[in-house]
Structure 1
Amino acid sequence: MDALSGNLPALWDGLVVTLRLTLLALAGAFAIGAVVATARVSPVPVLRAAGTVYVETLQNIPLLVLLILAVFGLPEIGVQAGLFTTAVVVIALYQAAYVAEALRSGINSVAAGQGEAARALGLTFTASLRHVVLPQALATVVQPLGNIVIMLTMNTSLAAAVGVVELTAAANRVNLIEAQPIPIFVGAGVAYMLLASVAGYVTGVLERRLAIVR
């Protein structure tokens, strides 16, 4: 345990980077996911096709492959960005595909008459989606979105493979010095578990508060 307690500052710094990476990528994933979900249910065939291609492509390429391609490939075409920024963008784009599918399933669960009534009142497709359909859809997919938040949090550990010193990378650096992997990585695992538990608890609270009685 001395190897763990004696290196808490380094591990804490890694945890802070993990939290920043999670929150920023999460904000990006939800913003992009909402746009993609809108395209997926759009009456415009080109937008639906574009949304489908985005989701199918991102969901069928491993995140680690995308991170490596971005970190080593983008400079080859003149795009320069820091490792942390690149990791945030790639993780956000990747997770946005899952957010989009969760939102689309929620939108499809809303009775078609809701959207038709909104358009009968003069609302455009975008306005009816924003003010009528999406609020109801979100209430039905709180749990799936919560699972995506947990998935994203765990996926931030892959950023270690491209040089981002988050919690997993910090634990690995400490282990290279102390050579005691069990206490060090158990400690890191507990930290990830606590983050997932907080996300699960918040999801449960939101799900109960936003529950729709049908």
Structure 2
Amino acid sequence: MDDGTSGAPAEIRILLADDQPLVRSGLRVLINDNPDLQVVAEAGTGDEAVALAASVRPDVAVLDIRMPGMDGIEAARRIVESTDPPRVLMLTTFDDDDYVYGALRAGASGFLVKDMALEEILGAIRVVAAGDALIAPSVTRRLIAEFASRPDRGKSGAPVRKLAGITDREVEVLTLVGRGLSNSEIAETLVISVATAKSHVARLLTKLDARDRVQLVILAYEAGLVSARG
């Protein structure tokens, strides 16, 4: 956190949760080598992660999906539902794909693939800590598309009913968000300014009671605005 020194950047406080001590140790060393990042707590199980998130109150919780006892998805759900929760990033591998959509529904703001380059990992933590959602990388778009298109999605009419209160232009913007486009890409596609695109996204977040862009992506898929084929 900010140490009170004038002009000093705020430190991003991170909780690491992984049942493999070597993975945690390696990530801790890499993360702590950056002056704006600090691992403040480590957990080996989902239960420990939930307890530490409540007591240490980190800015970002990085959770492995597969952990003994309570898994990372349930831990993410409990953390996100707590008062003033941290942002949640999931640690995954390509073998963990079956869990990804569940993690999104639980409130995760993005994913870290364990073999990602260091700068991508650090960048992901910073993006999520700043309040955005990590949906730009192709791996996340692919995973969202694959699992949001499963037969059990959108069984209730809730997503479609939610869209009743948005304008035609906002439907267009939501569709493009669902495809993983950034504000600048949306602006270019719709021939509007970036500021206008940003305003549309902000209104969608408010109208649809969505926490971040990941939730907008989920809503776009569940409402049938976007398919797994794009």
Q: TM-score range by the shorter chain?
A: under 0.3
More strand by share: 2
More helix by share: 1
Give the TM-score of the pair, scaled to structure 1. 0.24
User: Larger RCO: Structure 1 or Structure 2 (Cα < 8 Å, ≥ 6 residues apart)?
Assistant: 1
